[in-house]
Chain A
Amino acid sequence: MNRYQFEDLISDYIENKIKSKDRIEFENYFANNIKAKKLLDSVQNNIEEMDNAYEIQVGKDFNKKLLEKIKNQSQKRKKLHSSSVFLFGFNLSQLSIMVGLIILFIFATVGLNNEYKINNFEDNIYSDEGTQNTTDEIAQNYQSQKVDTTTINQQNNKDVDFSKSMKFVND
């Protein structure tokens, strides 16, 4: 048996839970080892001291304080309960949030409905004007396409005078 094995068995030995085979080995070890014997005695003594150590006690008004606490807690709970049940099992804050959400929902629904109606109306108007515009544009384009491009060039050339910009090279 080594020191660590001995230490592991100290509590079992003190509490009489050590196996008989280990007990012989354990007793042989501390019989030949003063330090081990001292350790065993010291641990045993400390257990006794702790067992006999002064016990503190709760204050004299412990029960009174406790009953006060219980009373306060149940009062709080009752208050909370009475304030919590307001209408249909909802308390004031839950109810106000719900009302707010309902109002928001109504406004949103009405707003969306109006927007839809406006969009619909505008679509109807723009769809008539749009067709008119496009036909005009097509007609204009068609007219412009009918113009002969060679005459345009000739007209442009008439306007340009190249006489001053021309230089004759001597033969």
Chain B
Amino acid sequence: MKQTSYNSYQMLQDSKNNNFSYKDEELILQFQQGNENAFVELVDRYKNKLINFTFNYLGDRDLAEDIVQETMLKLYEKRHYYKPIAKFSTWIYTIARNQANTELRKRKRRNISFLSQMTKNGKDFDLDSKAPDLIDEFHNTYLAQRINKAIQLLPEHFREVIVLRDIQGLSYEDIGSVMDAPLGTIKSRINRARIQLQAELHDLKKYRSKISK
């Protein structure tokens, strides 16, 4: 078993040195055929995308990371369930979404409010900043907080689509596949979600123009 672990770790290191130019779908096929390097590459491609999706959906950073871990574990264990008829990205987002929804249901049963938790522990916006300027970093963090809190106020079905569309940049068709909903429904939900968000974030433009002065 130690040998396996070592091999996996070696593979991880090796994969960092290799520049994969494969498509996601090619990588998952390679992984299905036993190439674990392909798995590590897929993890590296999707871990940050998925944590942004789950974080904006759930509003809890640690929980979001746990869900991404579980998603990757599922990817490893259920790799043979993937069929090339679907896009890999929609498949992995669907797994992450299902994991997040399971967690949401658990939380609802326990009556825990994410927002109340967010304000209590203060760890929710532990953002990895790349901003060179401290003041810029402060403003950007503040804006990210505002956006995240506004998203958390949206109903669940709006929250999912707005994160997938405006933060993750998925196409309407892909969102439809992830959500297993018709295109018209997705379009309408995104539009409604944007209008609802606007009510919470209408002053962002003013704030942005102030800080840029």
Task: Give Cα distance in the complex from A61 to B105, angstroms.
Answer: 28
Task: Give Cα distance in the complex from A62 to B77, angstroms.
Answer: 18
Indicate if the CB atoms of B191 and A53 lie closer than 8 Å. Answer: no
Interface residue ranges, B against A (CB under 8 Å) = 1, 4-5, 8-9, 12, 40, 43-44, 47-48, 51-52, 55, 61, 64-65, 68-69, 72-73, 76-77, 126-129, 140-141, 143-144, 147, 162, 166-167, 169, 187-188, 190-191, 194-195, 197-198, 201-202, 204-205, 208
Task: Give Cα distance in the complex from A150 to B198, angstroms.
Answer: 120
> What residues on A are CB-neighbors of B72 within 8 Å?
66
Within 8 A of B (CB), among A27-45: 38-39, 41-43, 45
Nearest A residue to B190, CB-CB: A11
Indicate if the CB atoms of A59 and B1 lie closer than 8 Å. Answer: no
> What residues on B are CB-neighbors of A10 within 8 Å?
191, 194-195
Give the interface residue-count category, chain A. 35 or more
Main secondary structure of the interface of A (DSSP, over half): helix
Nearest B residue to A63, CB-CB: B12
Nearest B residue to A62, CB-CB: B47
Indicate if the CB atoms of B191 and A54 lie closer than 8 Å. Answer: no
> What residues on A are CB-neighbors of B205 within 8 Å?
41-42, 45
Task: Give Cα distance in the complex from A141 to B198, angstroms.
Answer: 110
Interface residue ranges, A against B (CB under 8 Å) = 7-8, 10-12, 38-39, 41-43, 45-47, 49-51, 53-59, 62-71, 73-75, 78
Indicate if the CB atoms of A65 and B4 lie closer than 8 Å. Answer: no
Indicate if the CB atoms of A71 and B5 lie closer than 8 Å. Answer: yes
> What residues on A are CB-neighbors of B8 within 8 Å?
67, 70-71
In the complex, what's the smallest C-beta–C-beta distance from A164 to chain B, in angstroms? Answer: 98
Nearest A residue to B148, CB-CB: A53
